[in-house]
Amino acid sequence: MLASWREQSRQWPMDYWLLGLMVTLAVMGLMMVASSSVAISEQRFGHPDHYIIRQSISMALGFFVAYLFFQIPLSMWENHRGKLFLFAILLLIAVLIFGREINGSKRWLPLGIMNFQPSEFMKLVIVIFMAGYLDRHASAVKESFEAVIRLALPFGLMAILLLLEPDYGSTFVIAIMITGMLLIAGAPWRYFVLTVFPMVSILVALVMTSEYRMARVSSFLDPWQDPFGAGYQLTQALIASGSGGWLGTGLGGSVQKMLYLPDAHTDFLFSIYGEEFGFVGVVLLVLLYLAILYRLFRIGRKALDANYFFGGMVCFGIGIWIILQAGINMGVNLGAFPTKGLTLPFMSYGGSSVLMMSIAFALVFRVDYETRFYPKPKPDKKSKKTTSSLSKSSDKEVRDSGTGAKKKTKAPVRIKSPKSKKAVQ
């Protein structure tokens, strides 16, 4: 029965398991935004449905855009990855000039109907750019440190622009994404001692030289030292998570969302989820993200088997992006990491995040589609060797004939016949 089920799944136009997991996560996200934003929406706009309406529109727009992007062949993404990276850099520059400042950070470009976050677009572009780079330089990355350090210039510029916003969370996530994709492509571990250590040193220096950032770190280490000041948000998040118990208070039963916990519908939505669904619900959510990661990596492995190296690396990069951002967000809510300003993928309120995640999944489904129905033939090693040897010998002949090289040859030996010998005598 299992064998027949697997055989039927191979005939699907896409991975319906991944589609089902993604839709489940999106529905849960809408449900939690509706629950967690009631009080803050009522206070700011006079009715409790403002944020859930906007999130529903963003989700519908995201799925529509995903359908459109699904039609684009992978070769189009690979051929235009450099232009996409330059466009993302221009957006990061634009947000520093024209961006809207919220809570001391310039991370959003006002577009009228929504605030667009260029750092979310940069995460998607990084996956595409790195996949294309590794597709062309995979062997060089395994053997030469120069192929790795060559990435320092474009990504160094990107990191500087992100740190100027400032957006340390996105900078850290992108750095880990790049590192993970390089390691999956076969780059040795020793290369990253010379690349990651300086980056970590710079981040530590930036934290230590800023009173605001040091206050955030100290409040993360001991939030109860100042529970009504610097540690207020984290203490309220921990109260929410702890109040859920094993099974939670039920959907809509959260107390902390009643204006006790700031950003309850965005960065700290996970705490409200833990309060309403308890420890069991949290475990199920973690398993849901892990199942999505498994399907993404499975599609990536099959793409590599079908000779789609670019598509496989895209799936690996998106998988690292989603699981890393989800893990950091959960860790922040539980007091394991300092506040980073990263959303919970497909759960937290935010149009930019939903839109970029939808396009990312559209790319994955395109990889799966092309892998299933248009696999690339693998080159035959024997025929490749024979062809190369023949080409080498023919090249040598062409060189010899072109340079007019002369070869020494022995003169033919003449054998005298007995008659000729007699005549001479």
Both structure tokens of 310 = 């670019």
pLDDT for res 99: 84
The DSSP string of 185-199 is HT--GGGGHHHHHHH
User: Which has more confidence, 385 or 249?
Assistant: 249
pLDDT for res 329: 94
pLDDT for res 402: 42
pLDDT for res 376: 79
User: Which has more confidence, 191 or 44?
Assistant: 44
Confidence check: pLDDT of 216 > 80: no
Confidence check: pLDDT of 389 > 80: no
What does the DSSP 8-state code read for residue 1? -
User: How does the average pLDDT of the chain come out, rounded?
Assistant: 83
pLDDT for res 197: 72
Cβ atoms of residues 289 and 314 within 8 Å: no
d(C-alpha 357, C-alpha 365), whole Å: 12
Query: Can you tell me the mean pLDDT for 123-128?
Result: 96
In this prediction the pTM is 0.84
Local confidence band at 397 (pLDDT 50, 70, 90 cut-offs): very low
User: How is the beta sheet containing 100-102 ordered, strand by strand?
Assistant: 100-102, 105-110, 115-116
Both structure tokens of 184 = 């999956």
Which amino acid would we find at residue 203? L
Cβ atoms of residues 296 and 263 within 8 Å: no
Cβ atoms of residues 14 and 365 within 8 Å: yes
Confidence check: pLDDT of 177 > 60: yes
Per-residue model confidence as pLDDT tens digits over 337-388: 888 778 999 999 988 899 999 999 999 999 999 998 888 777 554 444 443 4
Per-residue model confidence as pLDDT tens digits over 293-338: 999 999 999 999 999 999 999 999 999 999 999 999 999 999 888 8
Query: Can you tell me the mean pLDDT for 204-231?
Result: 75
What does the DSSP 8-state code read for residue 106? E
Looking at the chain, the whole-number percentage of residues with pLDDT higher than 70 is 84
User: Which has more confidence, 282 or 171?
Assistant: 282
Both structure tokens of 201 = 């040193």
**Exposure of 354 by Cβ count < 10 A (0-12 exposed, 13-18 middle, 19+ buried)?**
buried
pLDDT for res 5: 57
User: Which has more confidence, 206 or 223?
Assistant: 223
> Which residue reads 């710079």 in tokens?
202
What does the DSSP 8-state code read for residue 410? P
> Which residue reads 């008659």 in tokens?
419
pLDDT for res 325: 94
**Exposure of 336 by Cβ count < 10 A (0-12 exposed, 13-18 middle, 19+ buried)?**
exposed
Query: Can you tell me the mean pLDDT for 19-30?
Result: 95
User: Which has more confidence, 163 or 4?
Assistant: 163
pLDDT for res 139: 85
Contacts 24+ apart (CB under 8 A), 355-359: 355/58, 355/61, 355/62, 355/65, 355/120, 356/120, 356/121, 356/123, 356/124, 357/62, 357/322, 358/62, 358/63, 358/65, 358/66, 359/62, 359/65, 359/66, 359/69, 359/124
User: Which has more confidence, 360 or 15?
Assistant: 360
Confidence check: pLDDT of 3 > 90: no
Looking at the chain, the whole-number percentage of residues with pLDDT higher than 90 is 52
Per-residue model confidence as pLDDT tens digits over 64-102: 999 999 999 999 999 999 999 999 999 999 999 988 887
pLDDT for res 138: 83
pLDDT for res 40: 94
Confidence check: pLDDT of 405 > 90: no
Which amino acid would we find at residue 403? T
Local confidence band at 6 (pLDDT 50, 70, 90 cut-offs): low
**Exposure of 7 by Cβ count < 10 A (0-12 exposed, 13-18 middle, 19+ buried)?**
exposed
pLDDT for res 168: 83
Identify which of 96-100, 204-208, 219-223, 313-317 has the greatest average pLDDT: 313-317
Any idea what the Cα angle at residue 290 is, between residues 151 and 251, rounded to 5°?
125
pLDDT for res 56: 95
Local confidence band at 212 (pLDDT 50, 70, 90 cut-offs): low
What are the phi and psi torsion angles at 144 (to 5°)?
-125, 130
What are the phi and psi torsion angles at 106 (to 5°)?
-100, 90
Query: Can you tell me the mean pLDDT for 171-183?
Result: 89
